[in-house]
Structure 1
Amino acid sequence: MLVVLGIVEAITLQSSRLVLGATTTVFFILYGVGLAAVARGLSRASTWSRGPAVFAQLIQLLIAYSFWGGGTRGVAFALGVAAIAVLLAVFRKESTKALADNPERDHPVL
């Protein structure tokens, strides 16, 4: 979704805000690609992926908090619930065990 937002931002660039639009485009695309890499790492139980996943969800909780006023409470609620669900999944006992930095799991001793 973030990559799509980056592409839309690139398409709607205006000369009056060229630098802002270009940096926003690059940010959205890189953040989206980064989140896709983290999701792939989580699906493969790569130990490096837990930290970035937690960090991304904490950022999402802050974004949810920023949407809490006025007519955007539904957005805030959806973002918050999704972030909490991911955090709970990442910190489950099974997930913690699968994502633990255990060299024996990756390279068993023969």
Structure 2
Amino acid sequence: MTESPSPTREVRGSHRAAGLLTLLEAVAVLGFAGFYVYEMVTGATEDLTRAATSGALILVFGLGLLALARGWSRAADWPRTPTVLWNALLLPVAWSLHESGRTPVALAVGVVAVASIAAAVSAPGRREPDASDGASDGRGDVS
């Protein structure tokens, strides 16, 4: 079954921004997974099990981020919450990097996280009609 974009939905700037930032994060995370593979192949790791487990977990997150980026590129609504959640979890990571003396990396992580949250929140979503929109509930106006 193929997923077709809704004909009434258009990819807007905020969708593109959220998608590109999520794609950037996915590439970075998949790079870390590749680093673990490199460590295992070259024998640079002392604990093969830990490296394999960490690499597999990071790979899962990278693939999830790729799925989010694809959703954003199709102007879907579902990527909003996981994108905000993922990037909210990156903020303490940025703070920890800052406290450990890696301020340039911390700034990069923090800026991308905040920009991703802003893009995700500002992306227009579907709105279901409700009573406050003036939709008729069948009872007529009594004013």
Please indicate the TM-score interval, normalised by the length of the shorter structure: 0.7 to 0.9
TM-score by length of 2: 0.62
- In structure 2, the residue matched to 1:38 is 68
2:126 to 97, 100, 106: 100
**Does residue 74 of the first structure (1) align with residue 100 of the second (2)?**
no
By relative contact order (CA 8 Å, sep 6+), the higher-ranking structure is 2
User: 1:18-57 maps to which residues of 2 (within 5 A)?
Assistant: 18-57=48-87
* More moved, 11-20 vs 75-84: 11-20
CA distance in 2 between partners of 1:101 and 1:19 (Å): 47
SS state of the match for residue 68, structure 1? helix
Residue pair 2:71, 2:78 contacting (<8 A) in 1 also? yes
- The alpha carbon displacement at 1:101 in A equals 6.0
Q: Which amino acid aligns with 1:37?
A: A
- 2:101 counterpart SS class: helix
Contact between 2:72 and 2:79, CA under 8 Å: does it hold in 1? yes
C-alpha displacement at 1:16, in angstroms? 3.7
Misfit runs of 4+, over 3 Å: none
**Structure 2: runs of 5+ lacking an equivalent:** 1-27, 129-143
1:6 partner amino acid: A
Residue 106 of structure 1: aligned partner = none
Q: Which residue of 1 aligns with 2:88?
A: 58
